[in-house]
Chain A
Amino acid sequence: KQEVTQIPAALSVPEGENLVLNCSFTDSAIYNLQWFRQDPGKGLTSLLLIQSSQREQTSGRLNASLDKSSGRSTLYIAASQPGDSATYLCAVREGDDKIIFGKGTRLHILP
């Protein structure tokens, strides 16, 4: 049974710093992996999608990597800003269209 774990559960960093969020999954037979952002009282916004055959994806200050064999993904945020404060969720999609989410990392950027 696939399990997705995100560590740490919460993170506070000063503005301007680079940071890394971690995601691990137990079954490497995934179709793809996505990183989402969730703001309080709002839905989820997809940030980056990495197909199982890919190693990384980049969008602006965000870079997500995928190491399928070790069951790990990281989300790198460069030059963090207060507007980056949110909960970041990692989700894997399995071959039968199941999407399994981690519990998220609550990020707080200190101005």
Chain B
Amino acid sequence: DTAVSQTPKYLVTQMGNDKSIKCEQNLGHDTMYWYKQDSKKFLKIMFSYNNKELIINETVPNRFSPKSPDKAHLNLHINSLELGDSAVYFCASSSRLAPDTQYFGPGTRLTVL
């Protein structure tokens, strides 16, 4: 039943490691997003993928790379993790017919030690 799911829900790792967060949507949407919510609660868009093409990249460090194996998945890979990467990462999706109605996943809380 879950529309947008993310795994894992919590991720604790050491600095310098490489990690991935997975996102899947079963809504048939063609656009997916990654957002970062930092400790100050600011929510900022990182990436947007439309039909497997990157259409937004909000000056995110190139250590972050979205990978979309198909329309239903948009995974976030993070290389050489830094302390400042600690945040909650949200995945979302929308239909091109209603791009403003985004459905959000539950979030992944990443803690870098």
Give the docked Cα–Cα distance between A43 and B105 (Å).
Answer: 5
Interface residues of chain A: helix, strand, loop or mixed (majority): strand
Decide: B42 and A103 in contact? CB cutoff 8 A.
yes
Partner of B45 from A44, A45, A98 at Cβ < 8 Å: A98
| Residues of chain B lying within 8 A (CB to CB) of residue A45 | 104
Digitize A86-111: 1 where CB-to-B-CB distance is under 8 Å, 0 elsewhere: 01010101000111110110000000
Category for how many chain B residues contact A: 20 to 34
- Taking a contact as CB atoms under 8 Å apart, the answer to whether A101 and B44 are in contact is yes
Within 8 A of A (CB), among B14-58: 40-45, 48, 55-56, 58
Question: Which of A42, A93, A97 is the most central at the interface, judged by chain B CB atoms within 10 Å of its CB?
Answer: A97
A-B contact count (CB 8 A): 45
- CB–CB B43/A101 < 8 A: yes
Q: Which of B40, B55, B99 contacts A103 (CB 8 A)?
A: B40
Chain B interface, >50% SS class: strand
Count chain A residues whose beta carbon lies closer than 8 angstroms to a beta carbon of B.
20
B101 at the interface (CB under 8 A from A): yes
- Flag if A42 contacts B107 (CB, 8 Å): yes
Residue contact B90 to A43, C-beta cutoff 8 Å: yes
Q: Residue A41 at the B interface, CB < 8 A? A: yes
Interface flags for A72-94 (1: CB within 8 Å of B; 0: not) read: 00000000000000010101010
Decide if A104 touches B100 in the complex (CB within 8 Å).
no
B107 (CB) vs chain A CBs: closest residue: A43
B44 / chain A contacts, CB cutoff of 8 Å:
100-101
Q: How far is it, in angstroms, between the C-alpha of A41 and the C-alpha of B9 when the chains are bound?
A: 9
| 12 A-B pairs whose Cβ atoms sit less than 8 Å apart in the complex | A41-B106, A43-B90, A43-B103, A44-B90, A44-B104, A87-B41, A97-B56, A97-B99, A98-B58, A101-B42, A101-B43, A104-B41
The chain A residues found within 8 Å of chain B, CB to CB, are 32, 34, 41-46, 49, 87, 89, 91, 93, 97-101, 103-104
- B→A interface (CB under 8 Å): 4, 9, 40-45, 48, 55-56, 58, 90, 92, 99-107
Sort A-B residue pairs by CB-CB distance and give the 4 closest, nearest first: A43-B104, A101-B43, A44-B104, A103-B41
